[in-house]
């Protein structure tokens, strides 16, 4: 089986699809860590919220694209409430207090999901435009999974342009590198913090809506994705777009190929990779701070 070229192509595409989902989640989380210095363990719950809102929006409107449009906006609005009511107050409380509070938020969201949608796994249909399969590189592969890969690359390109070519991007990079100095130069760092946090929440909601047709939408899907996302952030380096995509690709490929080539060691492979990176590069592969 492993000698067949189609096997390697399929597994590579599967790894890219998982990597793009991890990237959509981790890029917002890594910039929040790097810019706000806030440990938000509830980020995975926002991903699950996006999936649940997407399922409801799709069922109500009868269209996948309703979920695609509504989920990021709804999760961003929830992010605004969290920021005003909690995050802004806890920013200077220290990492341990932040961990405890956001860890508690995970259980709050779990109960809200159970109250709103129940414990039965839900699903969402793929859009008609990307349903079925497509001939690609000599294989036949699900079209929707190719769409996920393309979407992740499009978001990567858009964020790269935003951070490198716009004034907002320059402000964000300055805030990540030295927030105090940026504030002394007259930059409204608090407003930048707010915009970045909302953008990170919206990307988490988008990831949830995009993942809903591929994965079962369950109440604990946010906690299941949280550990791989945190590993991506640590491996890539805080506050770094390059780190987010590099970490996502590494974890996506290790998880995918580990599961098919060495299932017994797959669960350990990710943490072994994390240990190696932390030993060789304690700040991550591409940290935003020197």
pLDDT for res 1? 53
Mean pLDDT of 157-162: 89
pLDDT at 289 over 70: no
pLDDT in tens, 191-241: 888 888 898 899 999 999 999 999 889 999 998 888 889 899 889 888 788
Instruction: Convert the pLDDT of each residue in 53-110 to its tens digit.
Output: 999 999 999 999 999 999 999 999 999 999 888 888 887 777 788 888 888 999 999 9
Q: What percent of the chain has pLDDT over 90?
A: 40
| Strand partners for 134 | 141
The pTM score is: 0.90
SS (H, E, C) 3-72: CCHHHHHHHHHHHHHHHHHHHHHHHHHHHHHHHHCCCCCCHHHHHHHHHHHHHHHHHHHCCHHHHHHHHH
Is the pLDDT assigned to residue 28 strictly greater than 90?
no
pLDDT of residue 290 exceeding 60:
no
By percentage, how much of the chain surpasses pLDDT 70?
96
Q: For 249-264, how does the pLDDT look when each residue is reduced to its tens digit (9 = 90+)? A: 999 999 998 888 888 8
Q: What is the pLDDT of residue 18?
A: 92
Where does residue 145 rank: exposed (0-12), middle (13-18), buried (19+ CB within 10 A)? buried
Closest CA to 10 of 127, 135, 153: 135
pLDDT band at 143 (very low <50, low <70, confident <90, very high): very high
Is residue 219 within 8 A of residue 113, CB to CB? The reply is yes
Q: Reply yes or no on whether the pLDDT at 123 is more than 80.
A: yes
Q: How many CB atoms lie within 10 A of CB 258?
A: 19
Contact 283, 237 (CB under 8 A): yes
Is residue 85 a contact partner of residue 210, using CB atoms and an 8 Å limit? Answer: no
pLDDT of residue 146: 92
Q: In this model, does residue 113 exceed pLDDT 80?
A: yes
pLDDT of 192 reads: 80
pLDDT of residue 20: 93
Q: Helix or strand or coil: residue 187?
A: coil
Tell me: pLDDT of 131 over 90.
Answer: no
């Amino acid at each position: 089986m492993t000698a067949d070229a189609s096997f390697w192509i399929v597994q590579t595409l599967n790894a890219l699809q998982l990597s793009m989902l991890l990237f959509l989640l981790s890029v917002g989380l890594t910039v929040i860590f790097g810019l706000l210095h806030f440990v938000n363990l509830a980020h995975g719950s926002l991903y699950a919220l996006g999936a649940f809102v997407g399922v409801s929006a799709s069922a109500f409107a009868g269209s996948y694209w309703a979920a695609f449009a509504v989920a990021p906006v709804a999760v961003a609005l929830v992010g605004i409430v969290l920021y005003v009511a909690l995050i802004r107050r806890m920013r200077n409380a220290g990492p341990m207090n932040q961990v405890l509070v956001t860890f508690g938020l995970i259980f709050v969201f779990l109960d809200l999901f159970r109250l709103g949608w129940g414990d039965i796994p839900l699903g969402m249909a793929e859009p008609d435009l990307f349903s079925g399969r497509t001939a690609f590189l000599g294989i036949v592969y699900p079209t929707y999974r190719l769409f996920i890969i393309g979407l992740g690359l499009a978001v990567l390109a858009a964020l790269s342009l935003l951070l490198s070519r716009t004034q907002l991007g320059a402000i964000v990079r300055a805030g990540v590198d030295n927030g105090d100095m940026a504030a002394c130069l007259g930059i409204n760092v608090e407003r930048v913090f707010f915009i970045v946090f909302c953008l990170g929440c919206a990307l988490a909601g988008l990831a949830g809506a995009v993942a809903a047709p591929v994965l079962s939408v369950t109440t604990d899907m946010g906690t299941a994705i949280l550990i791989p996302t945190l590993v991506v952030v640590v491996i890539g380096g805080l506050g770094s777009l390059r780190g987010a995509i590099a970490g996502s690709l590494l974890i996506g490929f290790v998880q995918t190929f580990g599961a098919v080539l060495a299932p017994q060691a797959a669960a350990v492979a990710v943490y072994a990779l994390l240990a190696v990176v932390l030993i060789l590069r304690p700040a991550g592969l591409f940290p935003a701070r020197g």
